[in-house]
Chains A and B, each alone.
Chain A
Amino acid sequence: MLTKKELEHAKTVLGREPTETELGMLDVLWSEHCSYKSSKRWFYLFKTEGDNVALGIGEGAGLVDIGDGYLAAVAMESHNHPSQIDPYNGAATGVGGIIRDVISQGCKAIGLMNCLRFGHPSKPHNAYLLENVVRGISEYGNSVGIPVVGGELEFDDSYDDNCLVNVVCVGWVKPEEVVRSSAKTPGHLLVLFGSTTGRDGIAGVSFASETFSDEEEDNRGAVQVGDPLSKKIVIDTLRELIEEKLLEGLQDFGGGGMTSAAGELARAGGTGVEKDL
């Protein structure tokens, strides 16, 4: 949810009251999920530059030159809140999202890893979360044909009310096949492809960024339902698009939806986007 201060800032910049649509867009873009507004201050702790870093922070996946004409891609993401509400789908769509980050950079995704934290499994609810999160990760990876090659797991009482589900995807790409997240040619059309958005997942990032309340059950509809079949079709389609050199830019369509995806493409390319809703 937007803070009062953010709303004031929006009004100052716009010079008027934001419309309902604009409010919805700001709510998504300035959510923790999309803008990292509370965790951003810690990013300096990560090393993101170096001789072998081909692409640092800012796009779907980091790219590191591993020699012999190959770049390794690594992306990592948490799906804590969704997994706490709906462990199977929350974890599965976390995997789906992180694969998407890697393939949208033009890379071939080849391995998955995870880093999981739960309260002690002697408590039934923790055991339920653990079993379903693990099933969500493994079944999604298996269905799209990307193996889970490693992971780590710890239990501590402090995770009783909020499990941590972090997933990692690793891939590779040749430098000449890297696809950037930018739309720089005026007049080009943006094409949206992939699985459909249903009633599930709507405004998911706003929910995912909020502090938990007692309404966990009410939020279940905000967790997207995993669709590995569509993901595999997207992976294959993307490979063909890249091989036929049909892409100028590409942005994954994440929790920020069209607001975020189209905006990021245009901003990176120094262009604008017209959208008819």
Chain B
Amino acid sequence: MKLKGLFLVGILLICSIFAASTIELTVWTHEDPNRTLLEDRYIEEFQKLHPEVSIKRVTYPSAKIRETVLTAFSAGKGPDIFNMEVQDEYPYIVNQRVAPVNPIAMGYKNVEEIYDAYLEGTLNPVSYQGKLYGVPLEITNWCIFVNKRYTNALGMDFDNNYPKTWEALMEIADQLTVRNGEIITRRGFDFRYPYYLTFFIPMVEQLGGYLLNEDGTEAIINEKAWIDVLTFMKEWGPSGRNLGSPTYTAARKNWNKDDGSIVMCESGLYQILRLKSENPDLFHSDDWMIIPWPTFENAVNPVKGNYYGHYYMVNAQSSSEKQEWAWKLIAYMLQHTNEYFEQVGLIQPTYELMDSAVFKEFPFANVFMNDMSQAGCVLLHQAGPRLEELIREAVESVMLSGVSPENAVKTLKSKATEVLEDY
């Protein structure tokens, strides 16, 4: 009886020691079915290599992950690893909620070696006060996806003469748009509302305007540029030439369906592989192409649409042991750069990928990279989401509520100045 008891105690002790030595990592990321297939496999492989590590990967809709991560962090229960759009991750860096990258755990000699592995500038968004806080899962910029069935039908030869300016795009979109009275049944092109920091700000910058001055103390620089772009948007909306509106279904969602409701939309390279899985007939046809992001005819600054990224980050409140394993897992997943690109269409901007045949031979990859070389990163500021909301109000007020661009800019400037006072 005594022996039996001792045996049981021994078993329990072994179990508790074993349980204590297991590292549990939680990974929160946004939904992407193609990527889930890959990362589930990587995690399985990693767990086989390191049986002492147990990983729980949870996905959330892109629109939901921002608030889920925020509420978890504010309660001190954030995941060990997460990724979001970099403008949403930036406050986590500034508030020291994420840990600096551990180069040794990632298999690099030092941080400089990580910088050397990635295209110049692509780690800048996650570099803060001399430290690096994340590594890119994907960097995205937008170009224009074109369904040539509709352009060809109107005798437009996009292969040799595609619209290079916003003004030309507006004219062509007008010809391609089909309406039933005031109701648009087919849009020639429409913007990607409400991501105004990604597409609207570069349009303003093309005309010489800026959202903030250099030291970030003043907002809405060069009001004329803002008024000109808002005038363009007013002309685009229902009260102008009625070419599109934020209230129609997102253009990129319908583009893959080829259902006759949209001819051109803005999207990233990842959309190509989504097209492949959602509409293989269109994907394998010659009926689509991707053209560079336009500039205004009188652009003084020929920038392209801003790029944004999703960076993997590690919770600074996780134990140092967990942090180390977290960076090891991230490094393990990201060593499959080519597969991420081939299977999901995600650009991890490493020199290794850029120099690979896979990338060079991928359809339209050069269009995206040419534009990327002239693109800036989306605004990184603690007030970024608030400023984007104000820009949204301004654009929608001229497009939908009949406010004049001059008044919209005046209101925007006053509200943006008030917001900046909070930071």
Do A and B truly interact?
Answer: no
